[in-house]
């Protein structure tokens, strides 16, 4: 089976209930806190690597509010900077750096429009089914670097570093092998790459990704690096609805060989 065939098999057949829980951006926070607390207790040898983040709650972006629809939001109670998102889709986020410049009426309209949509129906990603629709607000993280850890067979394999608005890329996504952070000469979906210095907290990023991915055939663990502190973003089970184009072509084989699909899966 090719990588694309394996990913689409996973998309349509490997959808046990925990994936729905972790796709829900509200419930995922609770699972991450519990899972990381358990892993930290079981692995005291990792405490030096974790620094001052020694509790599961230290890795979860603080929640500011949860609502059933946008009309319930009292914007006066929110700080000057925050992030609004719906819990049941992808990319339905609004980063608010300065509340004073926010058009509240249009913001509510946009959020309620997203709330009316069924992501699973539009994209065939079954893990999005049966998520109760909510709007959530989180703390605004300034100066973050987005880290995407591609994990296969329960192991981190590649680390993607995202840069927005940079030269020469515009937006760059650079890939490194997880073992020793060597730049890889491939792109996914034609997003260009550049080189980046090794994160000073690479060991912590890899450890957290490993603890979160261990029970899944394929998942992209999305993390934020903020001045050496690591925060959980989301568990992405079907990036681009599993429509992943890797160039050069031989990396489809390299990726595919890292992912085991068999009759007993």
- pLDDT score recorded for residue 265: 45
- SS3 label, residue 11: helix
Of all residues in the chain, the percent with pLDDT exceeding 90 is: 69
CA–CA dist 208, 30 (Å, integer): 15
Domains plus CATH for the chain? 1-60+145-265 (3.30.470), 62-140 (no CATH)
What distance, in Å, lies between the first and last C-alpha atoms of the chain? 14
**pLDDT surpassing 90 at residue 244:** no
**pLDDT surpassing 70 at residue 264:** no
Q: Looking at residues 80-85, what average pLDDT do you find?
A: 98
- pLDDT score recorded for residue 222: 97
Q: Looking at residues 212-225, what average pLDDT do you find?
A: 96
Of all residues in the chain, the percent with pLDDT exceeding 70 is: 95
Question: Taking Cα atoms as reference points, which of 219, 198, 63 lies closest to residue 152?
Answer: 219
pLDDT one-digit tens code per residue, 126-162: 899 899 999 999 999 998 999 999 999 999 999 999 8
Look at the block and give the residue holding tokens 């608010």.
96
- pLDDT score recorded for residue 146: 94
CA–CA dist 198, 204 (Å, integer): 12
pTM (predicted TM-score): 0.92
Cβ neighbors of 128 (< 8 A, separation 6 or more) are: 20, 23, 88, 89, 118, 119, 120
pLDDT one-digit tens code per residue, 104-122: 999 999 999 999 999 887 7
pLDDT one-digit tens code per residue, 156-206: 999 999 877 655 555 788 999 999 999 999 988 888 777 888 999 999 999
- pLDDT score recorded for residue 168: 55
The 10 Å CB-count burial string (b at 16+, else e) for 154-183 is: eebbbbbbbbeeeeeeeebbbbbebeebee
């Amino acid at each position: 089976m090719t990588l694309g065939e394996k990913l689409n098999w996973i998309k349509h057949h490997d959808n046990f209930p925990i994936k729905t829980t972790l796709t829900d951006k509200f419930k995922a926070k609770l699972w991450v806190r519990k899972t990381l607390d358990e892993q930290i207790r079981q692995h005291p040898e990792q405490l030096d690597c974790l620094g001052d983040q020694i509790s599961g709650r230290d890795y979860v972006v603080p929640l500011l509010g949860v609502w059933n629809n946008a009309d319930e939001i009292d914007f006066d109670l929110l700080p000057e900077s925050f992030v609004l998102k719906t819990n049941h889709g992808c990319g339905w986020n609004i980063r608010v750096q300065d509340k004073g410049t926010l058009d509240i009426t249009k913001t509510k309209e946009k959020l309620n429009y997203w709330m009316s949509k069924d992501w699973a129906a539009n994209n065939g990603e079954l893990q999005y089914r049966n998520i109760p629709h909510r709007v959530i607000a989180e703390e605004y993280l300034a100066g973050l670097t987005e880290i995407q850890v591609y994990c296969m067979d329960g192991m981190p394999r590649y680390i993607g570093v995202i840069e927005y608005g940079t030269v020469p890329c515009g937006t760059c996504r650079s890939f490194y092998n997880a073992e020793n952070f060597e730049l890889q000469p491939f792109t996914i979906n034609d997003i260009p790459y550049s080189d980046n210095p090794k994160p000073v907290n690479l060991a912590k990023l890899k450890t957290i990704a490993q603890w979160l991915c261990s029970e899944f055939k394929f998942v992209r663990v999305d993390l934020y690096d903020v001045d050496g502190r690591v925060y959980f973003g989301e568990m992405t089970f079907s990036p681009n609805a599993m429509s992943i184009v890797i160039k050069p072509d031989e990396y489809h084989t390299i990726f595919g060989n890292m992912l085991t699909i068999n009759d007993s899966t």
